[in-house]
Amino acid sequence: AQSVTQLDSHVSVSEGTPVLLRCNYSSSYSPSLFWYVQHPNKGLQLLLKYTSAATLVKGINGFEAEFKKSETSFHLTKPSAHMSDAAEYFCVVKGGSNYKLTFGKGTLLTVNP
């Protein structure tokens, strides 16, 4: 069994300030973890992916995430928010070798000027 919890449904930051989007997971297997971003009226786009090669994963557009097994967390961060980062972000867990992905309920990021 696997599950993912995004701890904040909405995060609001000012442009130029750091971003932190929190994600906790559970999995019976060594998990693969993903962050996807969805801009308004668009499909989802992969930001980054963890598959056990390195605990700190760098993604596109300056985002990164750190896998912490002891805390079962995979939080997404960015040092300085841009207006274009305003979107909904989904944390996703995949356990084992099957197809099944479990999506979090999403965190809406608002960036204020």
Partner 1 sequence: DAGITQSPRHKVTETGTPVTLRCHQTENHRYMYWYRQDPGHGLRLIHYSYGVKDTDKGEVSDGYSVSRSKTEDFLLTLESATSSQTSVYFCAISAGVSEKLFFGSGTQLSVL
Interface positions with partner 1 (CB under 8 A): 32, 34, 36, 41-46, 49, 51, 90, 94, 97-101, 103-106
Rounding to the nearest 10 degrees, give the CA dihedral for residues 33, 37, 41, 42. -70
Nearest of 104, 58, 102 to residue 77 by alpha carbon: 58
Biggest CA–CA distance in the chain, Å, is 43
User: Residue 44 Cβ, how far from partner 1 at the closest point, in Å?
Assistant: 5
User: Residue 43 Cβ, how far from partner 1 at the closest point, in Å?
Assistant: 3
Please identify, using beta-carbon distances, which residue of 78 and 94 lies nearer to partner 1.
Answer: 94
Please identify, using beta-carbon distances, which residue of 32 and 77 lies nearer to partner 1.
Answer: 32
User: Residue 35 Cβ, how far from partner 1 at the closest point, in Å?
Assistant: 11
| Alpha carbons 101 and 113: distance in angstroms, whole number | 35
